[in-house]
Amino acid sequence: MLTELPASLEIKHTVKMLAIIKQWEEASSCHTDNTEKYLLLMLFKLGMDAVVFYICCWKLCTSFLSMCSLSIILADMAMAFCMAAVWFLGAERSLVSPCFLLAHTSAIFGALPLPMMCLGSFDYCIEDTCSGNQSALCKGLRNVVLTLLVWMLAVIYSFGFVKADLMILDFATGIKVGVCEVEESPLVNYFIFGLFTTVIFTMLPFWSSIPRWVKEADRLCELRDAQENQRSDLLISTPTTEQKSSKEDYLEETIQSRPPLWFSLILGFTMFWIPYLALSAACLVLVNSVPAYISVNLLWLECTNTLLGGVVFWVNSKSVGPYSRLPGNVCLWNVYWHLSKGTWQQQLPIAVFNPSKEKRNTLHYV
């Protein structure tokens, strides 16, 4: 259904924008179809999300947000496949139009951030209290059900409140443009810009000490990796002469100040995510509006996942120290905990084989 709109149309909605589907001139046969460009954009997003998923999501179903990451990958594949079918068959022969796909996918993706953030926070809050009483299968089923519920509500919202009609803008120059309304995600925009601004202003009072703290965090990472490589399940791990010497040299090193725990964790978060936050903030300033089916991606979701995990780690560290049962994360929270506390290595349990009880293959922890 085509709707004629005047050339002086002004979009008053702050969360909506116009996607140009096609344009043509009445006086000539010049005709431009942008379906191919939207397909390339969706393929680019699918490739980017696939790389992020491979790098960041080591374990599936261990948390609600990891299941959401998998669902976004599947949604990207479905979105790219449908747009490819529309482009290959043409708007006349395909079951749906490009405007229908763009309008509904932007509305669906735009409805995802708030419930995903709320349920992700709830999942992390109950992780330590219920993890011992729930099996991996129960957690996985719970994550699947919640993820399907979030997507179902988003789809219902899309088909209940979104108009996917192609609109025609008739300009005085004789050019006609076919457009449709697509939504952006203001929550994602506020989250990125607010988090970037907060990180920058938090770093300013400690700016002169950050290089030294980062260097020390790298040293702790190397010590941690060396310690893990030397562990064995069958032998008692005893510190070598070189390790003792390194520990003594480290203890003798005078460090005037150490970062507080909250800033140390923020530093660990910033060292990994500042490139994404800076680039996204620049895009928001220069481009002004990005459709939700592009801005709601795995980079944003994993950044949110890391932030929530860091907050829960900081809260739980007051009682359990650097040892947390939270799912694996891209940030090494325990290393930055030791950076703040001044310890030189992780005091993790070392498995020791007891030769006197070899038949039972008993492991003791020291």
- pLDDT tens for residues 293-324? 999 999 999 999 999 988 888 888 877 777 77
Least confidently predicted of 159-173, 260-274, 279-293: 159-173
Distance CA 333, CA 324 (A): 9
354 has pLDDT over 70: no
Amino acid at 237: S
Average pLDDT of the residues in 129-133: 58
Burial call 48-66: b when 16+ CB within 10 Å, e when fewer: ebeebbeebbeeebbbbbb
Portion of the chain with pLDDT greater than 70, in percent: 75
228 has pLDDT over 80: no
pLDDT of residue 289: 80
Amino acid at 40: L
pLDDT of residue 307: 92
3 has pLDDT over 50: no
pLDDT in tens, 138-196: 888 888 999 999 999 999 999 888 888 888 877 767 778 888 889 899 999 999 999 99
CB 38 within 8 A of CB 83: yes
Q: Among all chains, which residue has been given the structure tokens 């900081």?
A: 314
Portion of the chain with pLDDT greater than 90, in percent: 33
CA distances from residue 355 to 348, 350, 352 in whole angstroms, order as listed: 22, 16, 9
More confident residue, 140 or 363: 140
226 pLDDT band, cuts 50/70/90, is confident
129 pLDDT band, cuts 50/70/90, is low
351 pLDDT band, cuts 50/70/90, is very low
361 has pLDDT over 70: no
pLDDT of residue 330: 74
53 pLDDT band, cuts 50/70/90, is confident
Could you tell me the pTM of the whole model?
A: 0.80
CB 17 within 8 A of CB 291: yes
In terms of average pLDDT, the best of 116-130, 284-298, 347-361 is 284-298
265 has pLDDT over 60: yes
pLDDT in tens, 231-260: 644 433 444 444 444 444 443 343 457 889
pLDDT of residue 46: 94
pLDDT of residue 274: 94
Among left, alpha and beta (phi > 0; psi -120 to 50; other), residue 288 is left
| Average pLDDT value over all residues in the chain | 78
More confident residue, 332 or 350: 332
**Pick from 6, 15, 363, 3: which is nearest to 188 by CA?**
15
